[in-house]
Amino acid sequence: MRDTVHHPLFARFYARVSVAMDTRGGVAAYRDELLDGLSGRVIEIGAGNGLNFAHYPGAVSEVVAIEPERRLRRLAVSAALRAEVPVDVAPGAAEALPVKSEAFDAAVASLVLCTVRDVPRALAELHRVLRPGGELRFFEHGLAPERGLATAQRVLDRTVWPALFGGCHTARDPLAAIEAAGFEMVAYRRFRLPEKGPRLPSSPCVLGVARRPCVPR
Ligand SMILES: C[S@@+](CC[C@H](N)C(=O)[O-])C[C@H]1O[C@@H](n2cnc3c(N)ncnc32)[C@H](O)[C@@H]1O
């Protein structure tokens, strides 16, 4: 069967760099913050090599982790075996989640809305599969508030960046996209990654919580 996402070089690169970023670049602490207080059934889209799995709190009864890239999915399966909560890794794309509607208490998107092909469709799917009142936890990089960096991001997105980094885009606006998909923004904070040192096109980050409204809007 053909994979919907095929980025073998990026997968090799990400498998190494993401581990270094977690351990030496402080990203593991953001994963803790992202998942803090979650409980019940959770769906994670674009789970990559499964670096979030070790950070899920014990009150989470099950994680369904969707990952379309074969190599990363294999690594995610190994990470799932080491996780302290049950994690079921499955192939699939965020734009067409292979799960029932309103089946999850929470959804997780970390460093993935930059890469999905169709952001509104992926967010519509997350909205569909969350129960009313369910939380979307997000940790994403995106459009810089500074005009100079934002211009550079737009140029990079039209040229080399997606080809170099597995389809990633730097100038997307995750907060605006989440609100446009019908979620209520609960709380978020912006920060730079890495916090010190050079400002990269992927440095402007946002981490927060949005909710599927209890009453349809
Ligand atoms: C930068 S990695 C982030 C991985 C992981 N979420 C993390 O926090 O380390 C982006 C991930 O999104 C996945 N991806 C790409 N297109 C996707 C899609 N349409 N639906 C779901 N995941 C996708 C990639 O295969 C990759 O695993």
Domains of the chain by residue range: 8-211
Atom 24 in ligand 1: residue holding the nearest Cα? 46
pLDDT tens for 91-141 read: 999 999 999 999 999 999 999 999 999 999 999 999 999 999 999 999 999
195-199: long-range contacts (C-beta < 8 A, 24 or more apart)?
195/26, 199/149
Enumerate helices (H) and strands (E) in the chain, giving the number of each: 7, 7
Please give the CATH number for the structural domain made up of 8-211. Answer: 3.40.50.150
Q: Is the pLDDT of residue 2 over 60?
A: no
pLDDT tens for 166-206 read: 999 999 999 999 999 999 999 999 999 998 888 999 999 99
> 64 CA to middle of ligand 1, Å?
14
Pocket of ligand 1 (CB under 6 A): 5, 14, 18, 45-48, 51-52, 66-69, 72, 93-95, 110-112, 115-117, 167
> 125 CA to middle of ligand 1, Å?
15
Closest CA to 202 of 210, 193, 214: 193
Q: How far from 28 is each of 73, 132, 208, CA to CA, in Å?
A: 20, 29, 16
> 86 CA to middle of ligand 1, Å?
20
Q: Report the SS3 class of residue 159.
A: coil
> 68 CA to middle of ligand 1, Å?
8
